[in-house]
């Protein structure tokens, strides 16, 4: 299918309620999905929940609940949060869906029949937090660095999936970007891992773990949670597990993941696809983690930032804005409530919100016909700012997966700088929100002579810029974008972002 865009988030574990890291990935994917839809691409945006495995079974037990009852409760919170964050996902996959479970069993049977899965045993150190075996060199002082726990030594009969024969193929496909891993530093990291050691066959089943999908050819075993989980990227498109009828949306155009799950996504996942004779996803983008005051968030440090607290304080678009502008997408980003309040006040309440309210109030006071102004904007824009180039610049930032640059430029008027694609920067310039506020202070339109050309001109400039900002921020802040458009058309304003004291 041409001009399609299939984007996925990882599916989230349901051992606990969603946290800010989950919100970060999902909001980022939502922005990219909205952008691609707005460019006319047939878009499918998938998210969901990863509900089987030892970690979740243990948590349900601790709460005295049946696993399914327990995960149902958590899934409801995830779905509620996505609704509150205005997430426009086209699908939501749960690994406990009967259709997903049936498709996973079909795939396991195919892998078994074609000799990619065989019976053996595996000995290793298992981190339940990661639901992964860890090698000695991944541990710090004998502990998993992500979970601070000593992994369990495990040796059991299991089924294994062949990995080793795909090592060179994987290296080749990653090197030539057929299976593109971005940013570059993660591509290098995974290549150095793949080139540095022999890929071992991976254990894909557990014997004494009832909370999982039973292997169709050996009901004593349930499938390894990651095999179950990866297949969501297919079953979320409605796939039934039949190799002959792969959904038209496949391959995924972009899979966004956090850095802690890169290795499994760059080894087990593609090896499984190769074992099935299926195409690999086109690209994987790895983002960093959200830290709080320079440290990993943890209850004991008291530095956890809850997405629900953010929603309460900053509203839906405020939260989306603060998450996406927190730092370079791809790197670790650091947040604190204090800094976010400051940024919210300066960029949103005093910046964008103030600008909209000033301009609309001015048009009321000066009895300007705002409907007429809105109609004239298009013509004005064509003459004064080159919309094609602005669009190209935006497209370029989205293609390079730099959504934070788009926000930065909209506020600070740095569009056109770093223009790539070998273009000369022509005269066009879209001034940022900050400059427009400064422009008002300087020109003081309310002091200009009624009906003068100068007044008409400055109102036109302000209206046209606001109208453009509304378009440009739409993928990031859809509600605010619509509110700005309405305010301009109706010449009426409401407070977009209440200042936080
Ligand atoms: N269930 C697996 C993924 C299976 S995908 C086939 C899983 N789930 S998770 O809930 O633990 O993590 C989901 C995502 O959240 C990962 O991409 C992870 O990197 C991300 N984050 C977890 N903590 C995070 C931060 N503090 N900051 C940003 N993202 C973080 O792994």
Please tell me the predicted confidence (pLDDT) of residue 429: 66
Q: Which of 255, 258, 330 to mutate to test the pocket of ligand 1 (most atoms within 8 A of CB)?
A: 258
Could you give the CA distance from residue 71 to residue 354 in angstroms, rounded to a whole number?
A: 43
Q: pLDDT tens digits for 249-303?
A: 999 999 999 999 999 999 999 999 999 999 999 999 999 999 988 887 766 677 8
Closest approach atom of ligand 1 to CA 22: 15
Q: pLDDT tens digits for 19-43?
A: 999 999 999 999 999 999 999 999 9
- Beta-strand ranges (E) seen in 313-387 are 333-335
Could you give the CA distance from residue 338 to residue 40 in angstroms, rounded to a whole number?
A: 39
The stretch 313-339 carries a mean pLDDT of 96
Please tell me the predicted confidence (pLDDT) of residue 368: 79
Please tell me the predicted confidence (pLDDT) of residue 396: 87
**With bands split at pLDDT 50, 70 and 90, how would you rate the model's confidence at 124?**
confident
Q: In Å, how far are 306, 354, 418 from 458, measured between CA atoms?
A: 43, 17, 28
CA of 28 to the centre of ligand 1 (A): 13
**With bands split at pLDDT 50, 70 and 90, how would you rate the model's confidence at 456?**
confident
Q: Which pTM does this prediction carry? A: 0.94
| Bigger pLDDT: 167 vs 369 | 167
- Listed range (19-33, 50-64, 346-360, 447-461) with the worst mean pLDDT: 447-461
Q: pLDDT tens digits for 27-83?
A: 999 999 999 999 999 999 999 999 999 999 999 999 999 999 999 999 999 999 999
CA of 261 to the centre of ligand 1 (A): 7
Nearest to 329 by CA among 7, 11, 27, 19: 27
Task: Quote the percentage of the chain above a pLDDT of 90.
Answer: 71
Q: Which of 260, 296, 306, 323 to mutate to test the pocket of ligand 1 (most atoms within 8 A of CB)?
A: 260
Residue 419 pLDDT greater than 60, yes or no: no
Rounded to the nearest integer, the mean pLDDT of the chain is: 91
Q: pLDDT tens digits for 219-260?
A: 999 998 999 999 999 999 999 999 999 999 999 999 999 999
Q: Which of 21, 27, 49 to mutate to test the pocket of ligand 1 (most atoms within 8 A of CB)?
A: 21
Please tell me the predicted confidence (pLDDT) of residue 241: 98
Please tell me the predicted confidence (pLDDT) of residue 416: 57
Q: Give the closest residue (by CA) to ligand 1 atom 5.
A: 10
Q: Residues with beta carbon inside 6 Å of ligand 1? A: 10-13, 21-22, 24-25, 50, 229-230, 257-258, 260-261, 289-290, 297
Closest approach atom of ligand 1 to CA 257: 17
Mind spelling out the 3-state secondary structure of 97-143?
CHHHHHHHHHHHHHHHHCCCEEEEEEEEEEECCCCEEECHHHCECCE
Q: pLDDT tens digits for 181-194?
A: 999 999 999 999 99
Residues that are catalytic:
19, 22, 127, 130, 144, 147, 296, 299
Q: Give the closest residue (by CA) to ligand 1 atom 17.
A: 258
Residue 423 pLDDT greater than 70, yes or no: no
């Amino acid at each position: 299918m041409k001009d399609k865009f299939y984007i996925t988030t990882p599916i989230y574990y349901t051992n606990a309620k969603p946290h800010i890291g989950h919100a970060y990935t999902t909001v980022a994917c939502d922005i990219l999905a909205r952008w691609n839809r707005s460019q006319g691409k047939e878009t499918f945006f998938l998210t969901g929940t990863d509900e089987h495995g030892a970690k979740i079974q243990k948590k349900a037990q601790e709460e005295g609940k049946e696993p399914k009852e327990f995960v149902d409760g958590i899934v409801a919170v995830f779905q509620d949060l996505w609704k509150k964050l205005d997430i426009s996902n086209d699908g939501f996959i749960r690994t406990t869906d009967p259709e997903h479970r049936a498709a996973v069993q079909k795939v396991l049977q195919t892998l078994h029949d074609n000799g990619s899965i065989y019976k053996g045993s595996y000995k290793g150190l298992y981190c339940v937090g990661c639901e992964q075996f860890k090698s000695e060199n991944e541990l710090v002082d004998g502990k998993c660095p992500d979970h601070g726990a000593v992994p369990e030594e495990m040796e059991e009969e299991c089924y294994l999936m062949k990995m080793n024969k795909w090592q060179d193929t994987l290296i080749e496909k990653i090197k030539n970007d057929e299976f593109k891993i971005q940013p570059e530093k993660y591509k290098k990291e995974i290549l150095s891992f793949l080139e540095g050691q022999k890929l071992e066959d991976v254990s894909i089943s557990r014997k004494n773990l009832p909370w999982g999908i039973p292997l169709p050819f050996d009901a004593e075993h349930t499938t390894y949670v990651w095999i179950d989980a990866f297949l969501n990227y297919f079953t979320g498109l409605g796939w039934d597990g039949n190799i002959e009828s792969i959904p038209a949306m496949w391959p995924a155009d972009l899979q966004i993941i956090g850095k802690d799950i890169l290795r499994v996504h760059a080894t087990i996942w593609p090896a499984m696809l190769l074992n099935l004779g299926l195409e690999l996803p086109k690209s994987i983008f790895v983002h960093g983690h959200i830290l709080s005051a320079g440290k990993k968030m943890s209850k004991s440090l008291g530095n956890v930032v809850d997405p629900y607290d953010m929603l309460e304080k900053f509203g839906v678009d405020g939260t989306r804005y603060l998450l996406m502008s927190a730092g370079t997408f791809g790197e670790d980003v650091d947040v604190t409530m204090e800094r976010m309040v400051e940024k919210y006040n300066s960029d949103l309440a005093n910046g964008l919100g103030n600008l909209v309210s000033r301009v609309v109030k001015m048009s009321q006071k000066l009895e300007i016909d705002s409907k007429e102004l809105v109609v004239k904007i298009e013509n004005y824009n064509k003459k004064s700012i080159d919309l094609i180039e602005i669009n190209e610049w935006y497209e370029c930032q989205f293609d390079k997966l730099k959504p934070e640059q788009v926000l930065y430029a909209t506020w600070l008027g740095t569009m056109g700088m770093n223009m790539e694609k070998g273009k000369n920067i022509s005269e066009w310039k879209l001034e940022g929100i900050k400059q427009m506020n400064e422009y008002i202070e300087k020109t003081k339109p309310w002091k200009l002579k009624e009906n003068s050309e100068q007044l008409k001109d400055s109102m036109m400039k302000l209206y046209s810029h606001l109208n453009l900002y509304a378009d440009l921020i739409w993928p990031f802040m859809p509600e605010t974008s619509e509110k700005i458009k309405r305010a301009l058309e109706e010449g009426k304003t409401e407070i977009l972002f209440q200042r936080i004291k």
